[in-house]
Amino acid sequence: MLLAYSGGLDTSYLLCRLVHEGHEVHAVSVDTGGFSPEEREATATRAHAMGAKVVRCIDARERVYQQHISWLIKANVRRGGVYPLCVGAERVVQAQVIAEVAREVGADAVCHGSTGAGNDQIRFDVAVRTLLPGARLLTPIRDEGIQRETSAAYLAAAGFPISAERKDYSINQGLWGVTIGGRETHDPWAWLPEEVWPTTVPPERAPAGGESVELHFERGEVEGGLGTVERLNELGAKHGVGRGMHLGDTILGIKGRIAFEAPAAAILLDAHRELEKLVLTRLQLTQKEVLGSTYGALLHEGLYFDPAMRDLEAYLASTQVRVSGDVRVHLEQGRVEVRGVRSPWSLINASAGTYGETNRLWSNEDARGFSNVYGLQGVLAARVGG
């Protein structure tokens, strides 16, 4: 039996229970940016203590960056205009690694701890069915409707108590951010108490005066890749950047709400978008906004393996050919301000003029003629309508 093991409440419950029921369990944790070295060691120690036959923690951060985050930046993905797909996108990589290990060890079944209410169950199920055709998939938390209180009580009785905070909230941390669900997130009028935000300082307590950072992009890729994302997460958290609450539609069709912290995403998405505005044409920007949103929606909804995603990636790659240059960003008490952008492909430099002042590309007479023709159908419609 192979268990997708995060070390959280539900997967700890499943490990304990499966061992108690006599299964030989391989507990596999996939580090997509949520583990410090100390946490990785503590998670493995706890899994061994619970009776796992084999415990493995696999570092998949680089795969997450290359396979997902680099494309999310290129597509400027913010679901609902707010949420940068902090953790959901990483479920695909976690499922891929689980499938690879399952094939390697010849596991007769794969178990994950998703509930029946969220999006993760769909992401894991679709990925496992795609990558391990015919594999037996076990989901006791979902199938039996096990509540978090039940899981916590079972672990306490087995000698592995869980903290009250981990019982009340489901916190998932990854390379592209942290998501927090539970209690206040179920009430669209409520906001999280300050002590629940795990990584960012309160914006009002962040250093006055802030801090600036300069980023370089080459064909839409940020210089430094994975290392830059990790560095910006730390830097942005120090300045209270990246907090938010997303209210939207789940894959199953109900409304859902989740809190998130995503400092690196807040910085990189704003910076990349501003650079694109400098170097892409108006039609490129408008078309890309539609298809980038589509790409994000399909990824969020567990359809990463559909061939349409490769088609969209080919389109996105084409749009990034000239997205190269530098962006200067200022972080201050929860705010991200893009304060400068430059590129050898700048369309401002190519225009031979200044907006609102002078331009050598047309005469004043040309501008008058254009103004007379532009919007003509609206003028005619107004005349007909009286």
| pLDDT, tens only, 299-331 | 999 999 999 999 999 999 999 999 999 999 999
- Beta-carbon neighbour count of residue 7 at 10 Å? 20
Q: What is the pLDDT of residues 129-139, one digit of tens each?
A: 999 998 899 99
pLDDT at residue 355 above 60? Answer: no
Q: Higher confidence at residue 371 or residue 340?
A: 340
Give the C-alpha separation, 2 to 103, whole Å. Answer: 10
Confidence band, pLDDT 50/70/90 cuts, at residue 189: very high
pTM exceeds cut of 0.85: yes
**pLDDT reported for residue 168:** 80
Rounded to an integer, the average pLDDT of 72-85 is 96
Q: What is the pLDDT of residues 198-255, one digit of tens each?
A: 999 999 999 999 999 999 999 999 999 999 999 999 999 999 999 999 999 988 888 9
| Domain 2-59+90-167 fold | Rossmann fold (3.40.50)
Pick the CATH number of 176-342 from 1.10.240.10, 3.60.130.10, 3.90.1260.10, 3.40.920.10: 3.90.1260.10
**pLDDT reported for residue 272:** 98
Rounded to an integer, the average pLDDT of 40-59 is 92
Q: What is the pLDDT of residues 79-97, one digit of tens each?
A: 999 999 998 788 899 999 9
Pairing of strands 325-332, 211-218: antiparallel
Confidence band, pLDDT 50/70/90 cuts, at residue 371: confident
pLDDT at residue 171 above 80? Answer: yes
Average pLDDT of the chain to the nearest whole number? 92
Confidence band, pLDDT 50/70/90 cuts, at residue 364: confident
Rg of the chain on CA atoms, in Å: 24
Query: Do 84 and 233 contact (CB within 8 A), yes or no?
Result: no
Question: In this structure, is the dihedral angle defined by the CA atoms of residues 92, 96, 97 and 102, taken in order, positive or negative?
Answer: positive
Rounded to an integer, the average pLDDT of 91-108 is 92
Q: For the chain, what are the domain ranges?
A: 2-59+90-167, 176-342
**pLDDT reported for residue 118:** 80
The region of weakest confidence among 100-114, 216-230, 282-296, 354-368 is: 354-368
pLDDT at residue 353 above 60? Answer: no
Confidence band, pLDDT 50/70/90 cuts, at residue 102: very high
**pLDDT reported for residue 250:** 87
